[in-house]
Chain A
């Protein structure tokens, strides 16, 4: 199975900050990397697919990059509604594993 490792596991930031979350795959997955946002008590929401494609309706302050094994999710200017937990997921091969999550908290 492909292991997905996110860092950091938690992050404190302020409104307006630029933040970056990284995700590393245990083997090459090309660009088959997706990012989801989950708020407490809610289902996840797709933000980025194919490493860098913005899902329809997602604000442009979210940006994804990377290929191969190393990927990043950047939020250019944090808004209050962005404080949530973020998960990466590989869709290269089954089982479609997720990272352990990064909890983004308000400083």
Chain B
């Protein structure tokens, strides 16, 4: 059974930083691309970033480009999202999301974590 367990969320001031982690199990982590998807309170889903299985390719939404960095450690079966220069509008639940595709990925998510809440407020 695929399990994705996020951690690292919390309250941070505007301009601050956080690092989210996602511990993966139940599948061959190093074979699959991974995504982060977020959801602001009471709002819809927003795709944030994708990283290929090897970690060699990454893609991000314009809204976070230059501020957020996706990475992975395949030896630890862990996905990361470094959030810098945080803004109030980054407040959301951040979901770790397994791509259905191996290799470079496709953005098609077949498994989701339970999410971790990031609140940006002064």
A43 touches B44 (CB 8 A): no
Is A99 positioned at the interface, with any CB of B under 8 Å from its CB?
yes
B99 and chain A: residue at smallest CB distance: A91
- Report if A96-B47 is in contact (Cβ < 8 Å); known contacts: A43-B95, A43-B115: yes
Chain B interface extent, by class: 20 to 34
A48-107, CB < 8 A from B: 49, 55, 87, 89, 91, 94-101
| Size bracket, chain A contacts | 20 to 34
Give B contacts to A, CB under 8 Å: 35, 37, 44-47, 50, 59-62, 95, 100, 106-110, 112-115
15 residue pairs of the A-B complex, CB under 8 angstroms, read A1-B62, A32-B106, A44-B95, A44-B112, A87-B45, A89-B45, A91-B108, A95-B47, A95-B59, A96-B47, A98-B44, A98-B46, A99-B44, A101-B44, A101-B45
